[in-house]
Amino acid sequence: MSREQRGPNEKLGTVLALAGISNAGLARRVNDLGTQRGLTLRYDKTSVARWVSKGMVPQGAAPHLIAAAIGQKLGRPVPLHEIGLADADPAPEVGLAFPRDVGEAVRSATDLYRLDLAGRRAGGGGIWQSLAGSFAVSAYATPASRWLITPADPSVERDAPRPAGGITAAAAEHTRVGHSDVAKLREAAEDARRWDSKYGGGDWRSSMVPECLRVDAAPLLLASYSDEVGRALFGATAELTRLAGWMAFDTGQQEAAQRYYIQALRLARAAADVPLGGYVLASMSLQATYRGFADEGVDLAQAALERNRGLATARTMSFFRLVEARAHAKAGDGAAAAAALKSAEGWLERSRDGDGDPTWLGFYSYDRFCADAAECYRDLKAPHEVRRFTEQALLRPTEEFVRSHGLRLVVSAVAELESGNLDAACAAGTRAVEVAGRISSARTTEYVRDLLHRLEPYGDEPRVMELRERARPLLVAPA
């Protein structure tokens, strides 16, 4: 369905010409993006001609798919107003802003929280299934630069407007946020971290985080608080928001993850928590690297490092350097990756139990360092080093970090395969499939899928056929 504008949409025609996309090409791109989101679209070159020459405005997610398709070709986000579709539903653009004003930052974050719940109530894949603002690494440029320039707001004290008719002083006091309110959010974040590690980002217990943000965190952000309490509130909410992004990333919802990360970084700035901001940037770096933007991944990891020199604990700095190593390895820069890994190991060796590490870093220890080092050497095609680090990474018990154990098994299988040990590769792969079947993690499933792709040259081997059959339920299960 479409509705008509007044006259031709010259803006859309101009941007299409700039991007070098034909009418048929745009229709194909829009249909493909729709398919990726579970939508069945049948636009053709005639549909695009109507959008341009007659000013017809397609309904639903289509305007955002058009913007995403053009943005992919241009290599940058394309806002709806640039293509003459500003009056389309703006909801899918929520969460991409990094406001300078702290009040606007509160509005930006709470708008995102409300949007996600509205989508979940709609059923199916929720709002994110039809969200069309495809992941664009360039959307991280402004947030990262603004955070680097000014990592803290001067004041976050807030006096919420009172309802019409006035309220009593006692009632007003109940609208003020206290440390006990913040403590509840931190407890929720800690619980969510445990569930995510054990069951994956798609587990129903993990998926309660967005609702916690809407029901619990948003009203607190919009209430009254002192500067001291406000800083703590923004920090706790930033942790929860980053977790929501990480869980979305783990379940393959890259667009949602990007928006959560941007808002988490803005909230960390309001909290004046530079290490937490660095942690969000490290999460952005891992996503960018995973999506194939390794150079940008390096930039984001280095941004986390630069602002934290002299501020973060040794273990925190070690993790940031490890994330940088991941990006260098994906970019194929072995020397830079090795230097970053050496630095990460050095920082980790200097860490001590009494350093006051943040609670959100509780997952990071030497075995996690070894696991990521193994992935670095996998990307650099050095199977001997992969095997060496993976053996150490797999020593840790699996009860708490089930998903990580599954990922490490897949990396181990790849290393064995590249070393010519098909039996060992299939054995590790079989254990990985068993672990993957117990959690809800699209990322783990993708690792398994990659392993099976690497095993295709040996497809007639009984061991490979058996592994493929074991993995079949995992690969055909709903995302």
* pTM, 2 dp: 0.80
Print pLDDT tens along the chain (479 aa): 455 556 899 999 999 999 999 999 999 999 887 776 556 788 999 999 999 998 888 877 788 789 888 988 888 878 888 998 877 655 556 888 999 999 999 999 998 998 754 444 333 344 444 444 567 888 899 999 999 999 899 999 999 876 544 444 444 445 799 999 999 999 999 998 888 877 776 654 556 899 899 999 999 999 999 999 999 999 999 999 999 999 989 888 888 899 999 999 999 999 999 999 999 999 999 999 999 999 999 999 999 999 999 999 999 999 999 999 999 999 999 999 999 999 999 999 999 989 999 999 999 999 999 999 999 999 999 999 999 999 888 887 666 788 888 899 999 999 999 999 999 999 999 999 998 888 888 888 999 999 999 999 999 999 999 999 999 988 875 44
Amino acid present at 193: R
CATH pick for 2-89 out of 3.40.1340, 3.40.50, 2.40.160, 1.10.260: 1.10.260
CATH pick for 274-350 out of 1.10.10, 2.60.40, 1.25.40, 1.10.3820: 1.25.40
* Domain spanning 365-479: CATH 1.10.287: no
Alpha-carbon span 87 to 383, nearest angstrom: 54
Residue ranges of the chain assigned to CATH 1.25.40: 274-350, 365-479
Residue ranges of the chain assigned to CATH 1.10.260: 2-89
